[in-house]
């Protein structure tokens, strides 16, 4: 039986949770499109050439917000 009040258990739990969080950050940063603030166009960051690759799609909420605040 594992004693949840032991320091070894706490350290192992922190390492496991930090690992899961790190994997989520790596996975999400590569796959989620970002929004260009000036044009509201969606893009992904190409890590090989360190440039934006536009997807020819626009975020409707961003466009509505820009239309409300000229």
What are the tens digits of pLDDT across the range 34-57? 888 888 899 888 777 888 888 899
* Residues contacting 34, CB < 8 A, separation 6+: 42, 43, 44, 45
| Confidence at 31, pLDDT banded by 50, 70, 90 | low
From 15-19, 27-31, 52-56, 58-62, the region with the lowest mean pLDDT? 27-31
Beta strand spans in the chain (E): 34-35, 41-46, 51-58
The C-alpha atoms of residue 38 and residue 25 are separated, in whole angstroms, by 25
Q: Give the pLDDT confidence score for residue 26 in this predicted structure.
A: 76
| Confidence at 20, pLDDT banded by 50, 70, 90 | very high
């Amino acid at each position: 039986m594992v004693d949840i009040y032991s320091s070894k258990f706490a350290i192992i739990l922190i390492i496991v949770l930090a690992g899961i969080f790190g994997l989520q950050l790596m996975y999400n940063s590569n796959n989620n499109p970002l929004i260009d603030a000036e044009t509201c166009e969606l893009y992904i960051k190409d890590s090989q050439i360190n440039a934006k690759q536009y997807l020819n799609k626009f975020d409707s909420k961003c466009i509505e917000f820009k239309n409300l605040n000229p």
